[in-house]
Amino acid sequence: MTGKQTEGFDELDKMFKELGAAASGKALRQSVTFAVTPIVKEARANAPQGDDAHRTYKGRLVGPGFLSRNIGKKSFLSKSKNFASASVRPAGEAWYGALFSSAVSKPLKTKNGSRSFPTDDFLADAFDSKKDEAINRFYDAIGKYLDKALQKTRKK
């Protein structure tokens, strides 16, 4: 645990009930998306980068830094609108960046890396170094987005 004191769950629950599932779910998803931004920036900064241009599996010529430019975030909201999560990952043609991660199953990744892919878990390192900041950003953002949604519903 991060040691952050959590208070005000009763007020938070009251706000969620007043807003309804759709508006509170939107605020929850926005907060999670906002919170993972430092992790994305850290992952982009620490992504492995070559010195030469290379071709993707589709045959497109891309320059050094293609992986870091394609690291993004995607947030998810449950159907019940009471659970949100986010993932930070390489997208599109830069899918190979996930091979550097420890999240890859064992047949594709060895303990010491391989000839093609050295061991460099930049995604996990980014998460470990920025998780406390992400938690603090989430706490700040949930209040901001819920207040904004409440003001919007009260104007109607």
Per the CB < 8 A criterion, the answer to whether 74 and 89 are in contact is yes
125 domain-assigned: yes
**Residue 84 clears pLDDT 60, i.e. is over it:** yes
151 domain-assigned: yes
Instruction: Tell me what the pLDDT averaged over the chain comes to.
Output: 80
Using pLDDT thresholds of 50, 70 and 90, give the confidence band for residue 86: very high
3 domain-assigned: no
Q: How many angstroms separate the CA atoms of 141 and 118, rounded?
A: 37
Structurally, the chain folds into a number of domains equal to: 1
102 domain-assigned: yes
Which carries the bigger pLDDT value, residue 117 or residue 65? Answer: 65
Please give the average per-residue pLDDT across 110-118, as a whole number: 52
Instruction: Identify the sign of the CA torsion 143, 144, 150, 151.
Output: positive
**pLDDT tens readout for residues 29-75:** 999 999 999 999 999 999 888 888 888 888 899 999 999 999 999 99
23 domain-assigned: yes
49 domain-assigned: yes
pTM: 0.77
Residue range of the domain that includes 90: 9-155
At residue 1, the pLDDT reads: 40
At residue 14, the pLDDT reads: 73
